[in-house]
Amino acid sequence: MSAPSTTPRAAATNSVWPRLEPLLPQVSKPIQYVGGELGAVVKDWDAATVRWALMYPDAYEVGLPNQGVQILYEVLNELPDTLAERTYAVWPDLESLMRTHGVPQFTVDAHRSVREFDVFGISFSTELGYTNMLTAIDLAGIPMLAVDRTDADPVIVAGGHAAFNPEPIADFIDAAVLGDGEEAVLEITAIVRDWKVEGCPGGRDELLLRLARTESVYVPRFYDVDYLPDGRIQRVVPNRADVPFRVHKRTTMDLDAWPYPKKPLVPLAETVHERYAVEIFRGCTRGCRFCQAGMITRPVRERSITTVGQMVREGLEFSGFSEVGLLSLSSADHSEIGDMCSGLAQQYEGTNVSLSLPSTRVDAFNIDLAQELSRNGRRTGLTFAPEGGSERIRKVINKMVSKEDLIRTVVTAYSNGWRQVKLYFMCGLPTETDEDVLEIADMAHEVIKAGRAATGSKDIRCTVSIGGFVPKPHTPFQWAPMERPEVIDHRLKILKQAINSDRSLGRAIGYRYHDGEPSLIEGLLSRGDRRVGSVIRKVWENGGRFDGWSEHFSYQRWVDAAAETLPTFGVDLDWYTTRQRDELEVLPWDHLDSGLDKDWLWQDWQDSLSEFEQDDCRWTPCFDCGVCPSMDTEIQIGPTGRKLLPLTPLGGNGMKVPVAGNPA
């Protein structure tokens, strides 16, 4: 362990802006690096004891709207002795100039060097952001490998859904947090604060040990991995006696106590989402077997209708956004969604405010919702996700939606004024055949025919969007083999031909798809172990950046890197991707506890192969997935019996202002 740095962190008050500003006229979209958005916070560096740099490892236009980062940014900055600033991935044009001119990875808030912060928190929603993380670490001047860092370097903490298997990036991060972040960042802040106030006893190693002892922060350096001769993992065990054998996820209960973001960031540059987003509930128990988000965020916890109303009122007043997104994994499943939508639609009727449900189940959308979502004349996009083309494959994945349900739902939308809907499916699902995929074309044709019949118009469209299936940790499909990219691409080709086989119908159907190659690499990263870190680093060294963007992704670069590094360990790319796992195999994430019982997951995997459908435990007796007893949590759903009414006079921006908390 190196001696503590004698360089005071207060040096970060020296902004890199004077060196950065002359470079901006030479790059595309320079506004994304400027900062100063409405909702941004810049605090006194010297007045803070604990300093966080928060990153979503993608471009500003994708990263700024990220709900998780915005929430943590606000929660941390509310602490009087803590500051948090944001940083995003820089595009290759600016990266090159920064290297030439010696400009480090910087925050957009005060343009401080990321290396000067105490904690560098990175939130991953997809594993394809790993190479951007390495770019940021390198540009910051932080040693790439965690083992080489000293007390002068920030502690790098990974979070988000990908953190439920952080093993592929274990060499590069210092710690990972599983689950909800609101309370976790407060606990980490308190530990860092105490350690610093005490004079940093024991250096970096002691700080990481204190984090590990919480049993909810995973510190990879304190765990050793042993392998069997055939490449499988034999065991993952602590290498010291005072750290836990298993690390548990965090679950934030009572979302009403965490009404964030209160002051949403309003972007200066165009972003992928420009709306005030309210998370109306967290978790999902529908049991879709491919869905990691639904599995790892259990149990369901609803935000009350009154808190949602208050958040919408205050968020719109602060931001001036004209769209409200009611977010969750399946927003129409909220027990009070009808009253919520009708109350909000009534309150903002006659204004420019529109409502959207970005995630809507086919069997939960009805005519009442349709009318409320279109009441002010603005109809935001509607996306429905049957996921599988045939009824058989929908039983395999536990997506309990019939073809009749879908057609009835889409006709409801068309009849209420929508002229375009999007249908989302996956390709490469377990046990899938060509015939299962071709049924997507039949379904799309039926949708157009039914829509034309219901509206008497040919001016309707649907877009079929296809994503590649990726088996994820902590799901029943974590044992499943992946299809080869050429199989996926073959099915995508014959599906397109089938859609266009009827020209009259085909011209009304848009077709978007992701080919099989990026999905295979995501599969490598999602179920990989520590040996995959060598692949990630090699790809990055060979120029890998923004792998989530099709124009920057290079399949060949990943294949070549895997071929160069993995044989050293006696494994290869297919070993991680197209191989089916056995029941007793030790999986790289088995020591990381999502609350789900592994035996239950295995049984659900067997049920999927038998095409057995599992019910939603919100409305049926518990089926023992393990989450509630092991996490000491419970399902929290309404109804509360409250409404959003009455109204008060118009607010300062000309919008009616709801008074939350009034009983019906």
In angstroms, rounded to a whole number, what is the distance separating the alpha carbons of residues 472 and 495? 25
Entry pTM: 0.93
Same-domain pairing of 359 and 444:
no
Answer whether residue 654 shows pLDDT above 60.
no
Tokens coding 611: 């095409």
CATH number of the domain that residue 155 is part of: 3.40.50
Q: What is the pLDDT of residue 649?
A: 37
> Could you read off the pLDDT of 143-172 as tens digits, one per residue?
999 999 999 999 999 999 999 999 999 999
CB contact at 8 A, 354 and 307? no
Element (H, E) at 138: helix 130-139
Give the single-character DSSP code of 480: P
Same-domain pairing of 335 and 471:
no
Give the residue-averaged pLDDT of 111-136: 97
Same-domain pairing of 388 and 302:
no
Q: What is the pLDDT of residue 1?
A: 37
Same-domain pairing of 170 and 79:
yes
Q: What is the pLDDT of residue 223?
A: 98
CB contact at 8 A, 580 and 589? no
Torsion of CA 369, 375, 381, 384, to 10 degrees: 10
Same-domain pairing of 512 and 489:
yes
> Could you read off the pLDDT of 445-469 as tens digits, one per residue?
999 999 999 999 999 999 999 999 9
> Could you read off the pLDDT of 409-429 as tens digits, one per residue?
999 989 988 889 999 999 999
Is position 664 within any domain? no
CB contact at 8 A, 134 and 543? no
* Angle at 312 (CA atoms; ends 108, 77), nearest 5 degrees: 35
Computed over every residue of the chain, the mean pLDDT equals 92
Span of 90-94, 315-319, 390-394, 617-621 with lowest mean pLDDT: 617-621
Same-domain pairing of 360 and 415:
no
In angstroms, rounded to a whole number, what is the distance separating the alpha carbons of residues 43 and 82? 9
Is position 502 within any domain? yes
Residue 158 CB-half CA count within 13 A: 30
Output Rg (C-alpha) for the chain, integer angstroms. 25
- Phi first, then psi: give them for residue 491, nearest 5 degrees: -65, -35
Q: What is the pLDDT of residue 380?
A: 67
Q: What is the pLDDT of residue 373?
A: 81
> Could you read off the pLDDT of 201-242 as tens digits, one per residue?
999 999 999 999 999 999 999 999 999 999 999 999 999 999
Same-domain pairing of 60 and 203:
yes
Q: What is the pLDDT of residue 273?
A: 87
Same-domain pairing of 357 and 418:
no
CATH number of the domain that residue 477 is part of: 3.30.750.200
Give the residue-averaged pLDDT of 612-637: 86
**Domain edge (last residue) among 206, 227, 248:** 227
Is position 269 within any domain? no
Q: Where are the alpha helices (DSSP H) in 198-287?
A: 203-212
* Angle at 578 (CA atoms; ends 577, 581), nearest 5 degrees: 85
Answer whether residue 360 shows pLDDT above 90.
no
Stronger pLDDT, 535 or 274, i.e. the higher one: 535
Stronger pLDDT, 436 or 632, i.e. the higher one: 436
Is position 538 within any domain? no
Q: What is the pLDDT of residue 623?
A: 80
In angstroms, rounded to a whole number, what is the distance separating the alpha carbons of residues 198 and 502? 74
Is position 453 within any domain? yes
Answer whether residue 656 shows pLDDT above 70.
no
Same-domain pairing of 162 and 289:
no
> Could you read off the pLDDT of 506-524 as tens digits, one per residue?
999 999 998 899 999 999 9
CATH number of the domain that residue 624 is part of: 3.30.750.210
Same-domain pairing of 196 and 300:
no
Answer whether residue 8 shows pLDDT above 70.
no
3-class state of residue 353 by DSSP: coil
Is position 308 within any domain? yes
Is position 235 within any domain? no
Same-domain pairing of 62 and 75:
yes
- Residue span of the structural domain in which 602 resides: 383-527+582-614
Q: What is the pLDDT of residue 377?
A: 64
CB contact at 8 A, 138 and 172? no
> Could you read off the pLDDT of 54-90 as tens digits, one per residue?
999 999 999 999 999 999 999 999 999 999 999 999 9
Reported as a pLDDT band with limits 50, 70 and 90, residue 407 is very high
Same-domain pairing of 376 and 402:
no
> Could you read off the pLDDT of 547-603 as tens digits, one per residue?
999 999 999 999 999 999 999 999 999 999 999 999 999 999 999 999 999 999 999
Q: What is the pLDDT of residue 9?
A: 46
Answer whether residue 663 shows pLDDT above 50.
no
**Domain edge (last residue) among 192, 227, 262:** 227
3-class state of residue 460 by DSSP: coil
Q: What is the pLDDT of residue 620?
A: 79
Reported as a pLDDT band with limits 50, 70 and 90, residue 181 is very high
CB contact at 8 A, 121 and 82? no
Element (H, E) at 71: helix 67-77
Q: What is the pLDDT of residue 644?
A: 65
**Domain edge (last residue) among 204, 227, 250:** 227
270-300 b/e (C-beta count within 10 Å ≥ 16 → b):
ebebebbbbbbbbbbbbbbbbbbebbbbbbb
Is position 488 within any domain? yes
In angstroms, rounded to a whole number, what is the distance separating the alpha carbons of residues 479 and 634? 28
Reported as a pLDDT band with limits 50, 70 and 90, residue 661 is very low
Provide the number of structural domains found in the chain: 3
Answer whether residue 526 shows pLDDT above 50.
yes
CA 123 to chain centre: 8
